Each structure stands twice: as structure tokens, then as C-alpha cells.
């Protein structure tokens, strides 16, 4: 049994941990947020609930379809339209279930990696992170967006130059809540022909969501989001709200209003490889940025990374 540190507890990191655990290895996941799932995110405020990141996921391959079927059996996933699936009761449900099987350190923003004679050390801005096995990790997996993985790989002197090929589009998301009887021209979701808004979804129409309020999630288009990503989200949110009103016919004042900035929202250019690995340092990297802008791509990349790391560890143990 060997120890592996995984930076990032989104779908890719969790899938890698799952594969390594099946191979008999120990993992510790370091997650900068309080929860799990990355962009499979869910925000709660009082009685309101919003999937403000990934809206749904699909399965093109047999492996991920089997995983979805497993989640459905456990009541963690439901279909939201033919072939489109959502976590239940929120998008984070599958990730939370996966995380229960692993040691996870949350609110840990990893800033660098260092190697000693005993193994890899994981640091944040205050020093070595207090975590099981820190300082004796045989390998490290970077399961974060490419722009965040690149400086960590550099700190470890890992040869992973392909990371720089990945490109992301940002997205500004708006969350709105109304009284349940509020009338709207849109039903469940729409992709409007609009220069600012690219996606509108009635979050409360998804399976397992509360129906005593009407909640909506709005995603801005990439080009527009680039212009506003560094500005006060309240300002960009007001602009999105104005267009939302015009597109849906909802003139009522919202019971809840909030905007969120996703700096690394959608992969525009992937690396085109399942994962990256430097055997000399035992540092690997994975994520949807390896294969494409889909939850399934993150899962497949993480599985491939877990398999690659397990094979490398097996050679060490041989």
C-alpha cells in the first residue's frame, strides 16, 4: 500500500481516488472549498437552492453510464429530460457520496509541493498542511483547473508541459428566487438567442428540488463574461437580470438575488490526452481540460489518472 495526495476533490480527483483505493492504495484529497464536486456545485441560502455551476451531465461511454446507474440506484441521481441527469437533491450529491470513502482535507488551498527523502509534502501559504501522511506521499495528482495545476507542477519540477495547452472560458452565473406562482414564458430551461445570456434554467423544476419557491439559474455567454469577470458581480448580475426579465417575462422582484463568477467554467481547448504523468517525479494531472467540457470527461480523466498512478506504484512495489 502506498500513499497518494490528490489536490482537488471535484469529479476528476474523486474518480482518481476511487480507482487508487480499488488498487489497494491510500489517498488524501485536499480541497480548497468546504464541499466537494468542483463545478458540480450547489448553493443554499435559507430555503433556496441553486445548481449554479454544471447544470446536468450526460453519458457517452459505458463506464460513466454504469456509474450513473449506480448513483440512480442509490437515489443520488435522477433524469432531467431524456439522457440528461442531475444530482439529487443537488448537483453535489454524487461527489459527496464518493468523498465519504476517502480521507479529505477541506478549506486547504495548496500553494506548493516539496519533496524530501521520505516523500512529497503539501503546503499552503502557512506551511505544511496538517494531514494524514503529509511528507510521505509517494505520488501527487493535480485534479484542479489547468491554470491552477501549472504552478503546482512547476513547484514540484514535474515535466508536464501539455498543461499550458488547455484554455477555459469564464462564466458569470446569476441566481434568482421568486414566489412559486410567478408566471414565466420559459418552462424548464432555454438557450436564448441573446448576446449576453447563453442559458436559463428553472432550478426548481429538477427532480428532488424544493417546489415551494421558484428558483432560476442564468449563465452569461463566454465573451460577455470575459468583459465583466473582474468587476463587482453585483453589477454584472444586474445586467443579466435585465435580460432575464426580457426573455422570461418575469417582472416581479426576486426574493433572492446573487451572482457568482466562474473564472474557469468551460473548457474551450482540451489537451487531447486522458491524463498527464511524469514518472520521474510521480506527479500527475487530470481534469475535464484533458478530454473536453463535460462531467464525463472529468470522470474519465480521473479514472485514467488513477490507473496510471496505480501502475506506476505497482512497479515501485515490484
pLDDT per position as a tens digit, 168-187: 999 999 999 999 999 887 77
Per-residue cell: 37:
464536486
CATH number of 167-268: 3.90.660.10
pLDDT of residue 211: 84
pLDDT of residue 123: 97
pLDDT of residue 172: 98
**Taking residues 197-215, what's their average pLDDT?**
93
Q: What is the pLDDT of residues 84-114, one digit of tens each?
A: 999 999 999 999 999 999 999 999 999 999 9
Per-residue cell: 224:
460577455
pLDDT of residue 318: 63
pLDDT of residue 186: 72
Q: What is the pLDDT of residues 232-254, one digit of tens each?
A: 999 999 999 999 999 999 999 99
pLDDT of residue 188: 87
pLDDT of residue 187: 76
**Taking residues 198-216, what's their average pLDDT?**
93
Residues of the chain with CATH 3.90.660.10: 167-268
> How far from chain centre, in Å, is Cα 230?
21
In the predicted model, is pLDDT for residue 223 greater than 90? yes
Q: How far apart are CA 122 and CA 317, in angstroms?
A: 23
CATH number of 3-40+92-165+271-317: 3.50.50.60
Residues of the chain with CATH 3.50.50.60: 3-40+92-165+271-317
Q: What is the pLDDT of residues 35-83, one digit of tens each?
A: 999 999 999 998 899 999 999 999 999 999 999 999 999 999 999 999 9
In the predicted model, is pLDDT for residue 308 greater than 80? yes
pLDDT of residue 146: 97
Q: What is the pTM of this model?
A: 0.95
Residues 6+ apart with CB under 8 A from 206: 51, 78, 80, 86, 88
In the predicted model, is pLDDT for residue 269 greater than 90? yes
Q: How far apart are CA 90 and CA 42, in angstroms?
A: 6
> Cell 426573455 identifies what position?
247
Do strands 127-128 and 139-142 pair parallel, antiparallel, or not at all (unpaired)? unpaired
Amino acid at each position: 500500500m502506498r500513499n497518494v495526495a490528490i489536490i482537488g476533490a471535484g469529479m476528476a480527483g474523486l474518480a482518481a481516488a476511487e480507482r487508487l483505493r480499488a488498487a489497494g492504495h491510500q489517498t488524501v484529497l485536499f480541497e480548497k472549498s468546504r464541499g466537494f464536486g468542483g463545478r458540480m456545485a450547489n448553493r443554499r441560502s435559507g430555503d433556496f437552492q441553486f445548481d449554479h455551476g454544471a447544470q446536468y451531465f450526460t453519458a457517452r461511454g459505458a463506464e460513466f453510464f454504469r456509474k450513473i446507474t449506480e448513483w440512480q440506484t442509490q437515489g443520488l441521481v435522477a433524469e432531467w429530460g431524456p439522457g440528461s441527469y442531475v444530482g439529487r437533491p443537488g448537483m453535489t450529491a454524487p461527489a459527496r457520496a464518493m468523498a465519504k470513502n476517502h480521507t479529505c482535507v477541506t478549506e486547504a488551498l495548496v500553494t506548493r509541493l516539496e519533496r524530501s527523502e521520505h516523500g512529497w509534502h503539501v503546503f499552503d501559504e502557512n506551511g505544511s498542511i496538517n494531514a494524514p501522511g503529509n511528507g510521505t506521499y509517494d505520488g501527487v495528482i493535480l485534479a484542479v483547473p489547468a491554470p491552477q495545476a501549472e504552478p503546482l507542477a512547476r513547484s514540484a519540477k514535474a515535466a508536464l508541459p501539455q498543461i499550458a495547452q488547455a484554455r477555459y472560458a469564464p462564466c458569470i452565473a446569476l441566481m434568482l428566487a421568486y414566489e412559486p406562482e410567478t408566471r414565466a414564458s420559459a418552462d424548464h430551461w432555454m438557450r436564448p438567442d441573446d448576446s449576453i445570456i447563453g442559458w436559463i434554467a428553472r432550478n426548481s423544476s429538477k427532480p428532488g428540488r424544493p417546489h415551494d419557491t421558484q428558483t432560476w439559474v442564468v449563465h452569461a455567454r463566454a465573451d460577455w463574461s470575459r468583459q465583466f469577470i473582474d468587476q463587482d458581480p453585483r453589477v454584472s448580475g444586474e445586467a443579466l437580470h435585465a435580460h432575464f426579465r426580457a426573455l422570461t417575462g418575469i417582472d416581479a422582484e426576486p426574493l433572492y438575488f446573487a451572482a457568482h463568477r466562474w473564472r474557469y467554467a468551460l473548457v474551450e481547448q482540451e489537451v487531447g490526452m486522458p491524463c498527464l504523468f511524469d514518472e520521474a517525479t510521480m506527479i500527475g494531472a487530470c481534469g475535464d481540460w484533458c478530454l473536453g467540457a463535460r462531467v464525463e470527461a472529468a470522470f474519465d480523466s480521473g479514472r485514467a489518472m488513477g490507473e496510471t498512478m496505480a501502475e506506476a506504484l505497482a512497479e515501485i512495489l515490484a
